[in-house]
Amino acid sequence: MYRTMVRIRLCEESFVEPILSGQIRCPVHLYSGQEAIATGVCAALFEKDYVFGSHRSHGHYLAKGGDMRELVAEIYCKEPGCSRGRGGSMHIIAPEIGMAGSVPIVAGTISLAVGAALALKIKREKRITVSFFGDGAAGEGVLYESLNFAALKKLPIIFACENNFYSTHMPIRECRPENNIFKIGAPFCIQSYRVDGNDVLKVYEVTKHSVGLCRKGLGPVFIEFMTYRLRGHVGPNDNIQETYTDIRPKEEIAKWRKKDPIRRFQAFLIKNRIIRRETLERIDREVEEEVKEAHEFAKESPYPNPNELTKYVFKEN
Residue by residue, DSSP assigns 83-124 as TTTSSGGG---BGGGTEEEE-SSTTTTHHHHHHHHHHHHHTT
> Pseudo-torsion of CA 298, 303, 308, 312, nearest 10°?
30
Give the single-character DSSP code of 223. E
Angle at 121 (CA atoms; ends 120, 126), nearest 5 degrees: 65
106-143 confidence digits (pLDDT tens): 999 999 999 999 999 999 999 999 999 999 999 999 99
What pLDDT, on the 0 to 100 scale, is given for residue 240?
A: 67
Domains and CATH numbers, the chain: 2-299 (3.40.50.970)
* % of the chain with per-residue pLDDT over 70: 97
Asked if 236 contacts 16 with a C-beta cutoff of 8 angstroms, the reply is: yes
Q: Give the confidence band of 314 by pLDDT, cuts at 50, 70, 90.
A: confident
What pLDDT, on the 0 to 100 scale, is given for residue 247?
A: 75
Q: How many helical (H) and strand (E) elements, i.e. helices and strands, does the chain have?
A: 11, 8
The answer on pLDDT for 241 being more than 90 is: no
pTM recorded for the entire structure: 0.95
